[in-house]
Amino acid sequence: MSNENRKITIKDVAREAGVSISTVSNALNNVNVLHPDTKERILEVARRLNYTPNLNGRNLKAGATGVLGLFLGAIRGPYYGELSDSIYNACKDNGYELEIFLSYDARHIMANIMGHRVDGAIILNGAIGSDQVEVLKNQGIPTVYIDRILVGDKSSSVVFDSYNGGQKVARFLLELGHKRFMFIEGEVTNYDAGERKKGFFDELKKAGITVSDDYILRGEFERKAAYDSVTEFLDSGKPLPDAVFAANDLSAIGASEAFRDGGVSVPDQVNVIGCDDIELTRLVSPSITTIRTFFEKQGVIAVDKLVKMINGESGELITLNGRIIPRESTKAKDS
Amino acid sequence: MSNENRKITIKDVAREAGVSISTVSNALNNVNVLHPDTKERILEVARRLNYTPNLNGRNLKAGATGVLGLFLGAIRGPYYGELSDSIYNACKDNGYELEIFLSYDARHIMANIMGHRVDGAIILNGAIGSDQVEVLKNQGIPTVYIDRILVGDKSSSVVFDSYNGGQKVARFLLELGHKRFMFIEGEVTNYDAGERKKGFFDELKKAGITVSDDYILRGEFERKAAYDSVTEFLDSGKPLPDAVFAANDLSAIGASEAFRDGGVSVPDQVNVIGCDDIELTRLVSPSITTIRTFFEKQGVIAVDKLVKMINGESGELITLNGRIIPRESTKAKDS
DNA sequence: CAAGATAATAAAAACGTTTTTATTCGTGAT
DNA sequence: ATCACGAATAAAAACGTTTTTATTATCTTG
């Protein structure tokens, strides 16, 4: 009873098997140097005692953990499932385990990264400030960011090329025959939303099209904000655009709902296209065309790069192009 | 350059500050025994070198990590966000960090639990077999299960009382004045779905109501299966039930859609009630009344119990009652 | 001013591994 | 019979901490 509670260590196995600690270690890590009988006897004892190596001791000695860390600030959003799944699989393919650190506390995060709790870190976490990022850039274990651009000796970034995404959306909509466009902004401080907008507008300009300010609506990445903006627009009686590009899917959905509730058919009168490909785009009616980041690809690339950095490679910036997922909310304009 | 790469340890700080290792340790853990000047000098050096304690060394010495582990087999479902959020907060409130172990590999899971990678484990992971569970029941670090009932010296379960939930749904619908009921099954092997059904039917029986077999439909926990079953039912021309209880939300949503597409108004002609309170229940139209497990409560209780077990308490079974969340899909029967 | 208390720091032990080095013992060759 | 060698096992060192114990040097105090 009382000693049930003591943890079984390699020492216990050694004593029980009447053998030295190092011999037990050799048996467990099948270093081929032991007499077969001894080895078998030791393994038998270890099994009987349910011995499992203490990872703190082992990792300390090894100077490595065999674990990659994914540092998230939240897990509730629609992306995280897909992202972490893909990262999990990529880790497995590379012989690593995955641990997800859910934390908003930059100090904890730093303690875990610098403290060698894992061998490498994938970071999608706004909590980490620029000073700490500066440390990680050159010191400690390798890091890969998928939420910000930051390259150093020890850190890489794998980011969606938002500018390219904006361009692609423009080309996609132009090819469908649309001429008049509306853009729904994201959060104004958001870098990616800005890039998407720039790419979108630049590409339209190439086609000789400009978008006037009253066709650039507030969206704030939120369903409700977009809904309200579009509703207000409809009330103003201005001519409808042919197509609306929203800075993310949630605002695209809000916009689509506002059109529907305002008696405007999507996609017959107005096309709507979002960005991100969250699950909800498939569930609403009409389903929403979007351009996606391909999180699963991003996860795989992040892990691959991380492993390479662990093996000595230095950091770099990797950009990924998105792809458009056509759904019900867009269609060719009937002449 | 070359020695940039070496990891900074407490030794480096000691050498740089011209002081012994133990003195550095005392300075960092502000044991109040050092001359203020010495302490300040040491902290200054540590800061300059970006020293962070190696957690493997520290945890090894401490025999503890200050970390609780959440062992998930997946993260994509609708519950996980809410659950992990609540667990995260509960951990923080108890002074622990949280790490999420995403893994389908029972051996890895066992290695981490038995290997003291964390101080306690919350398990929602079907990958762990009954033999391994048997080991954890009495050995290793404390564990709390939220997906199965298993109580031992070192393990507890925090489960939703599904039978009670089924009863509550029955009472709720009876109070609304409904008389004729339909039940949509979950997966037949699922313990909870079975309990819900039993509680529901038992409570109806108390009111003198029975449900005939053709009003018990297949649902399989899936939207489509429920949709198809209800559609088939509608085609059969049998009289409509007043209310439908589905074994989970997804099948409730599928049923609701089937009624709508079959020209039957929810809730005017038929009420629909699900179970789980997934996010989608709020997003569909009509929104779906449901009974929820209160994951956030479950998370908090799981963590509390886990911490108590770490402090010596032994395991127990904790059951939680759900609560009904009324939404648009249910209303009092007119007449 | 000697001696004991106190403040400040250093040394050593321990946590549980793995790995390098050392020991023991039997065996075959000279 | 001695030696060298190889097989088998054991001992010791190391990983980076924290903590307990030891060592100084400095003060008090009678």
Nucleotide at minimal C1' distance from the B8 CA: D16
Do A137 and A87 have their domain in common?
yes
B130 half-sphere exposure, CB direction, 13 A CA radius:
1
Record the tokens describing residue A193, joined without a space.
């939303």
Tell me the one-letter amino acid at A33.
V
In terms of pLDDT, which residue wins out, A5 or A60?
A: A60
Whole-number pLDDT of residue B283:
83
Do A41 and A85 have their domain in common?
no
Whether residue A225 is predicted with pLDDT greater than 80 in this model: the reply is yes
Q: Which candidate, A262, A273, A190, A195, places its Cα nearest to that of A230?
A: A262
> Containing domain of residue B32, as a range?
3-53
Do A219 and A251 have their domain in common?
yes
Do B178 and B271 have their domain in common?
yes
Whole-number pLDDT of residue A3:
40
Partner-chain contact B84 A75, CB within 8 Å: yes
CATH number assigned to the domain comprising residue A243: 3.40.50.2300
What is the rounded average pLDDT for all residues in chain A?
93
Do B263 and B299 have their domain in common?
no
Q: CB-based contact (8 Å) between B102 and chain A?
A: yes
Of A14, A29, A53, the residue at which a domain comes to its end is A53
Q: Is residue A284 part of a domain?
A: yes
Do A166 and A288 have their domain in common?
yes
In whole angstroms, how far apart are CA A253 and each of A75, B148, B279?
A: 21, 38, 16
Q: Is residue A330 part of a domain?
A: no
Whole-number pLDDT of residue B78:
66
Judge whether A224 and A254 are in contact, CB under 8 Å: yes
CATH number assigned to the domain comprising residue A22: 1.10.260.40
Give the CA B136 to C1' D10 distance in Å.
Answer: 33
Do A74 and A139 have their domain in common?
yes
Give the CA B19 to C1' D23 distance in Å.
Answer: 15
The pLDDT tens digits for B90-119 are 999 999 999 999 999 999 999 999 999 999
H/E segment holding residue A23: helix A21-28
Q: Is residue A229 part of a domain?
A: yes
Q: Is residue B235 part of a domain?
A: yes
Of the partner residues B57, B85, B117, the one whose CB lies closest to the CB of residue A55: B117
Cβ-based burial of B29 (10 A; exposed 0-12, middle 13-18, buried ≥19): exposed
How distant is the Cα of B98 from the closest Cα of chain A, in angstroms?
A: 7
Q: What is the SS3 string spanning chain B?
A: CCHHHCCCCHHHHHHHHCCCHHHHHHHHCCCCCCCHHHHHHHHHHHHHCCCCCCHHHHHHHHCCCCEEEEEECCCCCCHHHHHHHHHHHHHHHCCCEEEEEECCCHHHHHHHHHCCCCCEEEEECCCCCHHHHHHHHHCCCCEEECCCCCCCCCEEEEEECHHHHHHHHHHHHHHCCCCCEEEECCCCCCHHHHHHHHHHHHHHHHCCCCCCHHHEECCCCCHHHHHHHHHHHHHHCCCCCCEEEECCHHHHHHHHHHHHHCCCCCCCCCEEEEECCCCHHHHCCCCCEEEECCHHHHHHHHHHHHHHHHCCCCCCEEEECCEEECCCCCCCCCC
Whole-number pLDDT of residue B142:
97
Q: Is residue B331 part of a domain?
A: no
Q: Is residue A34 part of a domain?
A: yes
Q: CB-based contact (8 Å) between B135 and chain A?
A: yes
Strand D closer than 7 A to residue A62 Cβ: no
Whole-number pLDDT of residue A5:
64
Do A169 and A193 have their domain in common?
yes
Whole-number pLDDT of residue A297:
87
Whole-number pLDDT of residue B3:
39
Partner-chain contact B52 A114, CB within 8 Å: yes
Q: Is residue B260 part of a domain?
A: yes
Whether residue A294 is predicted with pLDDT greater than 80 in this model: the reply is no
Do A171 and A258 have their domain in common?
yes
Distance in angstroms between the alpha carbons of the first and the last residue of chain B:
84
Tell me the one-letter amino acid at B323.
R
Give the pLDDT mean for A164-187: 96
Q: CB-based contact (8 Å) between B103 and chain A?
A: yes
Contacts of B256 in chain A (CB under 8 A): none
Do B140 and B46 have their domain in common?
no
Partner-chain contact A81 B75, CB within 8 Å: yes
Q: CB-based contact (8 Å) between A149 and chain B?
A: no
**Could you give the CA distance from residue A27 to residue B227 in angstroms, rounded to a whole number?**
58
Whole-number pLDDT of residue B262:
96
Do A24 and A168 have their domain in common?
no
Whole-number pLDDT of residue B76:
75
Whole-number pLDDT of residue B5:
64
Cβ-based burial of B160 (10 A; exposed 0-12, middle 13-18, buried ≥19): buried
Residue partners of A125: CB distance under 8 A and separation at least 6 = A71, A72, A73, A103, A104, A109, A147
Whole-number pLDDT of residue A76:
75
List, chain by chain, residues whose CB lies under 7 Å from nucleic acid strand C.
A 7, 9-11, 21-22, 25-26, 28-29, 31, 51-54, 56-58, 60-62; B 18-23, 26, 33-35, 37-39, 57, 60-61, 63
Do B127 and B200 have their domain in common?
no
Residue nearest to nucleotide D12 (CA to C1'): A22
Nucleotide at minimal C1' distance from the B14 CA: C10
Residue ranges in chain B modelled with pLDDT below 70: 1-5, 77-78, 335
Q: Which candidate, A159, A232, A146, A156, places its Cα nearest to that of A196?
A: A159
Nucleotide at minimal C1' distance from the A14 CA: D10
Q: Is residue A328 part of a domain?
A: no
Whole-number pLDDT of residue A78:
65
How many domains is chain A partitioned into structurally? 3
Whether residue A81 is predicted with pLDDT greater than 90 in this model: the reply is no
Optimal mutation site among B82, B93, B117, B122, interface A, most CBs of chain A within 10 A? B117
